[in-house]
Structure 1
């Protein structure tokens, strides 16, 4: 009658399947080959299943073995998830920050901020959530977030806002575009030109449309997007030109040409948090890192215009 299997047998079986040979499996478990073979033999005996065929002095897994390994792999993946959860709970005891970021800043910008922050505060658990500006503020108010990054038109009496990265939009274009010959791009330069825009309900799109309408200019909008990353990628691919905030170009500086746009279309983001928010010490440290990173990127990109 089959006996109850044990964890060591499962570990030996998994090592054998994934390494391909008894010798390599034994090395993984730091045991001898005879001990490895004994564990596999006992597993077959205890399960009552033929798990391996002996082919040319090697063990070839049967269909039963493959199915069993798939199930074991699923279980081990669950164990790893539990281990990750335990690690997260340990880190939460030392500090936890919930950060809300609008899509425009959810790429390389927040990545730089968090990497530098964790380098100084390695035991803080950070969770990054990407939301619209309105949702960031809503979650700050109900204490689901500690710090938020929003666009410049959001307001709420319960939330403290600090202007961040206030700069004029710049014109970006493919590296070989005819407009690269100009030192500054004007509205008339964009008339009927292939243009990559933002969706109409995006705030920066309203600012751009207002200025171009004032100058009676109609670019040929060939596509639009809800965030800056695809806009910049389409420009880099040669599909058209666009107007974006300089911070959106972080990491793209060598893939697109950048020119100042006249007249200035000012746009800024906001740093948002509750005045009496939790995790005050770590939140303040994160805010300092956001300010520092934003200032460094803006100076670098704007100075290259």
Structure 2
């Protein structure tokens, strides 16, 4: 007959899922590392399942651990009530979001505002950071949900695409390139080029396209955001090939916007943790974003996002 697991063992489970390592969990709980390891081993023995897989210095929860953790929500919610706190109070549980500046200022701000109207009282923290910083924030449990246009990979982070669009070429309306309906690499040979900095993976992809076509553009500027590239293009500095989402309006009279061939795709993705489950507000916000991008004119129509259920139902 199996022994019953203790509440303390369940606390250890949740702490290790959240912290990712036994050392960090022990610090969070205020106990020794051997004590955490011992209680975790006892819980696995009591449950008869493996709860964590070791990935380098980190512990990754198994499907059984995540299911058990989900089932423990009611237990720890009840304990929180007994201790005088309300875990369902949005003010006490802010939804922590982070994204690069372009996504934050040109897209997420509007999504946050409309989401808060649907869910009055839901506290939201929205910060800007680089796509590389998203990994550290997810690992350290400083972030519930991230957003990125990058194609970064990390064992502690999963990217879930919610929007895809094709690259476009932009320039001033009176630029010589504007007379073409479609821009191909051969048309850009020896043209003034506003490029993204080399830290962007899409810059590497574009360089490969030009190299394969035997095309050499004339670099006149390197910028860190698509917004900066558009500003320079409007001023007639040169052309730029970039992602239209979320910075371009199709009817912008200050720019000539042309399809770029050969086609390559930009993906905007949710960045979620692989070492802890998503909160209900985070899942609701993901569905809210999916609804918001449905009407975007740059979205590929053959791209099927995750099922967009009623976001309000997710918060109940």
- Please tell me the TM-score bracket, short chain as reference: 0.5 to 0.7
Question: Of the two, which has the highest radius of gyration?
Answer: 1
Matched, 1:199 2:197: yes
Q: Give the corresponding residue for 1:16.
A: none
* Deviates further, 133-142 or 155-164: 155-164
Residue 213 of structure 2: which of 203, 212, 215 is its match? 215
Structure 1 residues 300 and 169, CA, compared in 2 at 3 Å: closer, same or farther? closer
> How far off its partner does 1:201 sit?
1.4
TM score, norm. by length of structure 1: 0.64
Residue 120 of structure 2: which of 108, 122, 133 is its match? 122
Structure-2 separation of matches of 1:118 and 1:177? 43
Q: Give the corresponding residue for 1:178.
A: 176
Q: Give the corresponding residue for 1:292.
A: 291
Structure 1 residues 157 and 275, CA, compared in 2 at 3 Å: closer, same or farther? closer
Matched, 1:281 2:259: no
Structure-2 separation of matches of 1:178 and 1:110? 35
> How far off its partner does 1:279 sit?
6.9
Structure-1 separation of matches of 2:299 and 2:281? 29
**Across the two proteins, how many residue pairs are aligned to each other?**
212
Q: Give the corresponding residue for 1:71.
A: none
Q: Give the corresponding residue for 2:224.
A: 226
Structure-2 separation of matches of 1:140 and 1:185? 39
Structure 1 residues 289 and 253, CA, compared in 2 at 3 Å: closer, same or farther? farther
Q: Give the corresponding residue for 1:155.
A: 153
Q: RMSD of the TM alignment (CA)?
A: 2.3
> Unaligned 5+ residue runs, structure 1?
1-89
Q: Give the corresponding residue for 2:131.
A: 133
Matched, 1:261 2:260: yes
Q: Is the 8 A contact 2:90 2:121 kept in 1?
A: yes
Structure 1 residues 252 and 168, CA, compared in 2 at 3 Å: closer, same or farther? closer
User: Could you give the per-residue CA deviations for residues 39-88 of structure 1, whole angstroms, max 9, x where no partner exists?
Assistant: xxxxxxxxxxxxxxxxxxxxxxxxxxxxxxxxxxxxxxxxxxxxxxxxxx
Q: Is the 8 A contact 1:231 1:242 kept in 2?
A: yes
Q: Give the corresponding residue for 2:10.
A: none
Q: Is the 8 A contact 1:208 1:265 kept in 2?
A: no
> Unaligned 5+ residue runs, structure 2?
1-88, 302-316
* Deviates further, 216-225 or 285-294: 285-294
Task: Report matched runs for 1:67-86 at 5 Å.
Answer: none
Q: Give the corresponding residue for 2:9.
A: none
TM score, norm. by length of structure 2: 0.62
Structure-2 separation of matches of 1:280 and 1:142? 16
Structure 1 residues 189 and 160, CA, compared in 2 at 3 Å: closer, same or farther? same
> How far off its partner does 1:253 sit?
4.6
Q: Is the 8 A contact 1:152 1:163 kept in 2?
A: no
* Deviates further, 182-191 or 157-166: 157-166
Structure-2 separation of matches of 1:300 and 1:200? 25
Structure 1 residues 123 and 156, CA, compared in 2 at 3 Å: closer, same or farther? same
Structure 1 residues 219 and 265, CA, compared in 2 at 3 Å: closer, same or farther? same
